[in-house]
Structure 1
Amino acid sequence: MAREHEYDLIIVGGGVGGLVTASVAGQLGLDVVLVERGPRLGGDCLHHGCIPSKSLIHSAAVAHAARDAGRLGIDARLGETDLGAVMDRVQSVIDEIQVHDDPTRFRDYGVDVRFGEAHFIDARTIRVKGQRLRARRFVIATGSRPRIPDIPGIETIPVLTNETLFAERSLPGHLAVVGGGPIGTEMAQAFSRLGSRVTLLEAGPQILPRDDAGLAASLAEHLRGEGVDLRLSTHVSRAEPIDGGARLTLSGSADDTTALDVNRVLIAAGRRANTDSLNIEAAGLACGDDGRLSVDPRLRTSRHHIYAIGDCAGPYPFTHMAEYQAGIVISNALFRLPQRVDYRAVPWVTYTDPELAHVGMSAADAKAAGIDCQCVDFPLAGVDRAIAQGATTGELKLVIRRGRIIGASLLAPHAGEIIHELALAIAARIPLRRLAGMVHAYPTLAQITKRAAGRHFATQLFSPGTRRLVRWINRILP
């Protein structure tokens, strides 16, 4: 009997993490199979997440700028939003980027690309469309999907998620967004700017609960100022269909209930890892209640020849995290060079306007870890470029230990671009004095980093001791 062919590597999942791993492994000459359950490569980020949402946000920003142009002395007449045309542009952006994820490209690298559902038969074998595939090593990169909350009656109404939202062709008159995390907050502002009446419902006491509470509160007030009906500490206790939409029963912190009638409901209440259909029990893999696979610092599962990356492994559900983790797996699985993950300087961004970005530890994180730190903040209103643009809602907060930044949070336009200077400072342990002394172009929003660093040193610079020293130097030296 012929021995079953054994591949060097099988990758399950054709999102960013899987594609990066497959690209490198194929070009290195390994015998690689890439399995994707959907009809296209690219994953959730390309088709239902980062790319379509940011494209939609850009269209909404243009609509808002036109509507707000009178404040800047410009008469810009704004007509009705054609959501169908907006979504056509969103799809054109996806199509343009999809070219880079064409299966032919990866097959040219030597990767055997297959489409179909993968199921483990045992720790060394999977089945795809009835065919057995065996490998020495595996990488699971199956991503995540929207989690639908357990709301009585939710199954009786049509709900939108990030997987279906971008197929909409008509602007909802009244949109309810359930969940005040990044997706919910971004889409609430975007649809409000496009012309929908939007109610954003968050069960907790703040939007963006992983971010700085003060900056999240500032952003919340900004959203309210733009017309978003933001309700915190509000639970959806029931859903039922009505003519033209849905009725949501809401309960607040005082146990009072109200009814909210809307045309459409967008669910943005968390994610669940796509591991249910893998039959991980057959492979002996351990996972948590949210479906995420348990991995060690080298991203090995409980079976050390099987690795997991991206949303199905955690701890951060970001595309850039999947890409970073792919590099760790490439080092460990392909080159056999032991490498561990380092999450000290992982940035994340919520792409509202202004954007809210964070990297490293918060003051609360440092306190919980028993780290003695100092905190300094600087308002965006003190930055000349922000004043010139008429966009002064925001602030930079730095967490400092022994003269180095260990964490930063920034609410500002383009915060996602500015935060990388601070991420580098944390990752490379660059002293804060270097940032304070670095020349920043004027006028730029990035000057807020230099200003905050300068404020940190101002107390020391202008202390009584320093003042006495300067007077002494100027009297003694010619």
Structure 2
Amino acid sequence: MTEDRVETFDAIIIGSGQAGNPLALALAKEKWKVAIVEKAVLGGTCVNTGCTPTKAYVASARAAWAIANAHNLGIEVPKSPKVNLKAIKKRKDKIVSSSRLGLRKALADSPQISMIRGTATLLDKTRVKVGSRVLKSSKIFLNVGARARIPEGFADVGYLTNTSILQLEKIPEHLIVVGGSYIGLEFAQIFRRFGSKVTVLEMGNYLISKEDHDTSDLVRGILENEGIKVICGAKCLRGKNKKSGGATVTFHKEGKDKQVSGSHLLIATGRIPNSDLLNPENADLTVNDRGYVEVNSKLETTIKSIYALGDCNGRGAFTHTSYNDYEIMVDQLFGDKKKTVNDRIINYALYIDPPLGRAGMTLSQAKESGKNLLFARMAMSDISRAKEKGETQGKMEVIVDADSEQILGAAVLGTGGDEIIGTFLTAMYGKMSYKTLMNSVQTHPTVTELIPTLLQQLTPVKK
């Protein structure tokens, strides 16, 4: 095999996701000569198959639900809404394309940045191979993301992933979702609202296993109220193609093998990092047993010249954590070197409707800390704004360190929960006493105005 000459750069970035693109622009601003390598399309998961397209679908599904339930608010709609998946997809594609074109222009406008298309592999600690090209740098940044994990028993089945399901132009008659966590549940509700029959199969005894059981139960109730069939404790899952089209999934539950058949099958059993595609062993990179590239709090790998950002480092699996990785990296390179991953407070949202916003610890996690705790919970059905909107499913809860008076965690499952959680998160980053928030005057009528009332109800948690 003949290789072209070695091309030398100040930095090589592998992957154009939510950390890679802004890092390339930041390095270019400092007059670094940068190569950014992308094997697929610009923007990574968020722009192309994650946040941007799925939340566009969530908005369409929400509109369909609002029309179908308008009678609850005294609005008579003559017919049920007609869902045009092809039009929904077209709208999604336009939004994605716009974001992608914006990124392309920003990178192309910088003379310091070379955009290189192809799959990158590591040759050693300083060299990267892309096709017949060999790139060299003393700084290599990995931002290679993750892909859908396909469990044993489904390799030979016609299945959809979070990527391919977004290409459908006809609504599935019956969608089977294997996996009862964030991705699976969002698509389950989306397609139920579009008109599909939906069955969710989860191996664990509860949905979204990272959450406390009461939160899981509330989420399950929300989905079942919309007609989604949820089966937890479905062990030994395996699939088989149907001769007539679609798939049959066999699972073990309550001592018996059971089956469910559908027209479409979505596998949503988690993600695996793309680090294996890099040939990390060539650079002596340390990769853990789950495939994540190990990094310290400064995003340094075990190899001095290589850094890992975003989903592939296992220190967060969200757009906001990936972007924060970029911020940490820039601070470590050009700033006062004070920002680290350890400063980050975990926060995320589950975008079913109503959404779940989470900041910090769950109650179970807080109990394991051994701290003296205060806890309060309030049902959304007790909040006037939720009643007025006709959306009373869910809860708000907060956990406080009784000694420091700082908020350790909070959850808002209910209307506006993905936005309201930011109030708690701001207080947590500010290391405020919960009393500051408790004594604040919030705008009426909102769900947020009940946060002070919630904090007034704090009671000690028994150890």
Fold shared, TM-score > 0.5 on shorter chain: yes
State the SS of the aligned residue for 1:156. Answer: coil
Please say if residues 398 and 407 of structure 1, whose CA atoms lie closer than 8 Å, have aligned partners that are also in contact. Answer: yes
Alignment of 1:58-457 (within 5 A): 58-76=59-77, 77-102=79-104, 104-109=105-110, 110-151=112-153, 154-235=154-235, 237-242=237-242, 243-252=244-253, 254-335=254-335, 337=337, 339-342=339-342, 344-401=344-401, 402=403, 403-456=405-458
2-structure distance, mates of 1:334, 1:13 = 22
Counterpart of 2:313, as a letter, is A
The alpha-carbon deviation at position 78 of structure 1 amounts to 2.3
Alpha-carbon deviations, 1:35-73, whole Å to 9, x = none?
1111x2111111111111111111111111111111111
Alignment of 1:449-468 (within 5 A): 449-456=451-458
Shift of 1:147: 0.2
Letter of the structure 2 residue corresponding to residue 52 of structure 1? P
Tell me if the contact between 2:441 and 2:449 (Cα under 8 Å) persists in the aligned partners.
no
Give the deviation of 1:364 after TM superposition.
1.5
Q: How far is the alpha carbon of 1:304 from its aligned partner? A: 2.2
Q: Which moved more, 1:378-387 or 1:137-146?
A: 378-387
Quick one: percent identity of the two aligned structures?
29
C-alpha contact 1:378 1:451 (8 A) present in aligned 2: no
Structure 2 letter corresponding to 1:363: L
Partners of 1:456 and 1:374 in 2: CA distance: 6
Structure 2 CA distance for aligned equivalents of residues 294 and 138 of structure 1: 15
Identify which range, 334-343 or 210-219, moves more after superposition.
334-343
> For residues 172 and 119 of structure 1, what CA distance do their matches in structure 2 show?
38
The question of whether the paired residues in 1 share the 8 Å contact of 2:23 and 2:326 is answered with: yes
Amino acid at match of 2:52: I
Q: Deviations over 1:405-437 (max 9, x none)?
A: 111111111211111111111111111111112
> Cα distance, 1:391 vs. partner?
0.8
Deviation at 1:16, TM superposition (A): 0.8
Q: Which amino acid aligns with 1:67?
A: A
In the alignment, the residues of structure 2 paired with residue 6 and residue 84 of structure 1 have an alpha-carbon distance, to the nearest angstrom, of 46
- The aligned amino acid for 2:272 is R
Does the Cα contact within 8 Å between 1:383 and 1:447 map onto a contact in 2? Answer: no
CA RMSD of aligned residues (A): 1.7
Give the letter for the 2:209 counterpart.
P
> Retained in 1: the 8 A contact 2:375–2:459?
no
Q: Does the aligned pair in 1 maintain the 2:385–2:445 contact within 8 Å?
A: yes
TM-score, with normalisation over the residues of structure 1? 0.91
Determine the C-alpha separation between the residues in 2 that align with 1:5 and 1:91.
Answer: 36
Deviation at 1:338, TM superposition (A): 5.2
TM-score (norm 2): 0.94
Pair member with larger Rg: 1
1:473 corresponds to: none
SS in 2 for 1:199: strand
| Contact 1:25/1:334, CA 8 A, preserved across alignment | no
Question: Structure 2 vs 1, CA of residues 383 and 194 (structure 1 numbering), >3 Å: closer, same or farther?
Answer: same
Moved more, 392-401 or 343-352: 343-352
Find the aligned partners of 1:336 and 1:272 in 2 and give their Cα distance: 33
State the match for 1:56 in structure 2: 57
Secondary structure of the 1:159 match is coil
2-side partners of 1:32 and 1:97: how far apart? 22
Flag structure 2 segments of 5+ consecutive residues without an equivalent: none
Point out 4+ residue stretches in structure 1 off by more than 6 angstroms.
none
Tell me by how many angstroms 1:32 deviates: 1.0
Task: State the Cα distance separating 1:352 from its structure 2 match.
Answer: 0.5
Residues 189/7 of structure 1: CA separation in 2 closer, same or farther (3 Å cut): same
Q: Which moved more, 1:383-392 or 1:369-378?
A: 369-378
TM-aligned CA deviation for residue 279 of structure 1: 1.2
Q: Secondary structure at the match of 1:352?
A: coil
Distance 1:128 1:335, change over 3 A: farther
Q: Aligned pair count?
A: 451
2:241 and 2:390 map into 1 onto residues whose CA distance is: 43
**What secondary structure does 1:423 align onto?**
helix
Equivalent position amino acid for 2:455 in 1: A
For residue 391 of structure 2, give the secondary structure of its aligned residue in structure 1: coil
Give the 3-state SS of the residue equivalent to 1:237 in structure 2: strand
- Whether 2:18 is the aligned partner of 1:9: answer no
